[in-house]
Structure 1
């Protein structure tokens, strides 16, 4: 009988094990979801860094199915809220109800709403008015909910993954800027390729029910988040994140002329935090010890696209925020590496 050894594992071993875990998660997701590799990667990056995601795409692209399948793989509590025009904030956060005991004494008891979960799917979030959308603000930032004079902590881990229909469609309410800024990623879900669509049609019309295996528990997710936070970031990489974010602001001296002409306001410091955290997640998923500038470039578009507001001139010329961010990624120079004295 082999006796277990207590030999401590180094960071390289842990990162390699984590990289294998996330590959297993992708394989389990692919049993249900065909394609959408970039979307899956960004969802995992947000989960591993305690971020929230906004999925945007036309109906029928499996946004809801993707989130519910991900919750099954993670083996955590999952709740779904269908946002409608008549949804009230208390329908999300919960409310105080009057209860009477056998002695006739009455007192209020707090009834938890669906937000008290690990993964909250806010389905079609832009179908409800801003008053109800704002009920998520405190939960997404402080991970707590205030009802009356009492503040309640949310379970850990806690993620909000919202889906949104394009604002050009009827009956939608644009999300307030303050709420958009809470989302780490704004992920655009596009149509599948021809081969992927044929695979979807084949799989979905067989009548078979595929059940993915559980890969990570809630406790394991917390450990993964600590691991990702331990990935090293050099001052060189931090400087690049700051330069890229500051270049989105039209009043900043470093902003290119096309930003000054086409942008009303740019991204705040939270964008830089998410760039670094997103870079950490990409590096960790690749089994690497430190963040490279290309890791941050890889996640820059979904992080910045909802934090840059274009003006009428950009809209008239058909220039989107994605176009501007992609141009900035090419134009913002890589900072010079520090030279050490010999």
Structure 2
């Protein structure tokens, strides 16, 4: 979904159904979406005129938020070279649907130690002003991350551990995926914006506190 914040609320609602219920409804008939189904979406953070901000309930269903900055000089050169010539790009299939589903099952079956689960849950709970004594949260956070953040921290940590050849995730895996999972689930207040406290700075401090 390209520039998802330019889609009207009715379209966003349909996308939310697909993400939450794994189905779409048209003319009163629901159609199940086959696994593995997932949504990739982009939005332009600069130009906001004529956009429809996504509600928090829908943002929360995106596992990651990745911030994509400018490409490097070499990357930009590659972009220009590939898109201004006559050469055709061909995509080769690298994995089958069944193989991907089996990998997902493998990741799901990885064991996780209780102390790692506690680490993830405590990190998420500390983003909520009513559940923490951390000054940066009490001073600058309006709304913290919900339970889905804890779930996604564990799932992402298990995936990272599997990619690195580990049998189980550890706290370092949680720390590595925390920024991408938390940055769109924590709502800063006006004081944070006025004082120039960025979301990245807040998450870095959260990780440092829990990793100490």
Per the TM superposition, whether the score is higher than 0.5 is yes
Deviation at 1:132, TM superposition (A): 2.1
Task: Report which of the two has the higher share of helix.
Answer: 2
**Structure 1 residues 255 and 304: alpha-carbon distance in aligned structure 2, compared to 1, 3 A threshold:** farther
**Which residue of 145, 148, 161 corresponds with 1:283?**
161
Residue 227 of structure 1 corresponds to: 106
Aligned length: 212
Range with bigger deviation, 182-191 or 142-151 = 142-151
Task: Please tell me the root mean square deviation across aligned C-alpha atoms, in Å.
Answer: 1.7
| Aligned equivalents of 1:270, 1:144: Cα separation in 2 | 20
Q: How do residues 315-334 of structure 1 correspond to structure 2 at under 5 angstroms?
A: 315-333=193-211
1:124 and 2:3 matched: yes
SS in 1 for 2:81: helix
SS in 1 for 2:152: helix
Whole-Å separation in 1 of the counterparts to 2:38 and 2:133: 33
Q: TM-score, normalised by structure 2?
A: 0.92
1:201 aligns with 2:80: yes
Q: Identify the structure with bigger relative contact order (alpha carbons < 8 Å, sequence gap 6+).
A: 1
Instruction: Compute the displacement of 1:199 (Å).
Output: 3.2
What corresponds to 1:266 in structure 2?
Answer: 144
Aligned residue number for residue 142 of structure 1: 21
Partners in 2 of 1:333 and 1:125 — Cα distance? 35
What is the rounded CA distance, in whole Å, between the counterparts of 1:200 and 1:123 in structure 2? 19
Check the 8 A contact 1:144/1:152 in 2, yes or no: yes
Specify the SS of the correspondent of 2:123: helix
- Asked whether the 8 Å contact 1:167–1:173 carries over to 2, the reply is no
Alpha-carbon contact 1:283-1:295 (below 8 Å) kept: yes
Shift of 1:146: 4.1
For 1:203 and 1:140, locate their aligned partners in 2 and report how far apart those are by CA, in whole Å: 33
> Per the alignment, in what secondary structure is the counterpart of residue 163 of structure 1?
coil
Q: Which runs of 5+ in 2 are unaligned?
A: none
Question: What is the deviation of 1:295?
Answer: 1.0
The structure where strand makes up a greater share of residues is: 1
1:147/1:256 CA distance change after superposition, 3 Å = same
Max Rg structure: 1
Q: 1:296 aligns with which of 170, 174, 195?
A: 174
**For 1:118-142, what per-residue CA distance to the aligned partner results, in whole angstroms no more than 9, with x for missing partners?**
xxxx121110222321111221122
Aligned mate of 1:164, from 18, 43, 49: 43
Q: C-alpha distance in 1, partners of 2:75/2:25?
A: 45
Contact residue 249 and residue 263 of structure 1 kept, 8 A:
yes
Q: Deviation of residue 215 (structure 1)? A: 0.9
What is the Cα deviation at residue 145 of structure 1? 2.9
Could you tell me whether the CA contact under 8 Å between 1:138 and 1:145 is conserved in 2? yes
Task: Name structure 1 gaps, 5 residues minimum.
Answer: 1-121, 335-342
Distance 1:323 1:163, change over 3 A: same
Is residue 2:90 matched to residue 1:214?
no
Rounded to whole Å, the distance in 2 between the matches of 1:149 and 1:167 is: 37
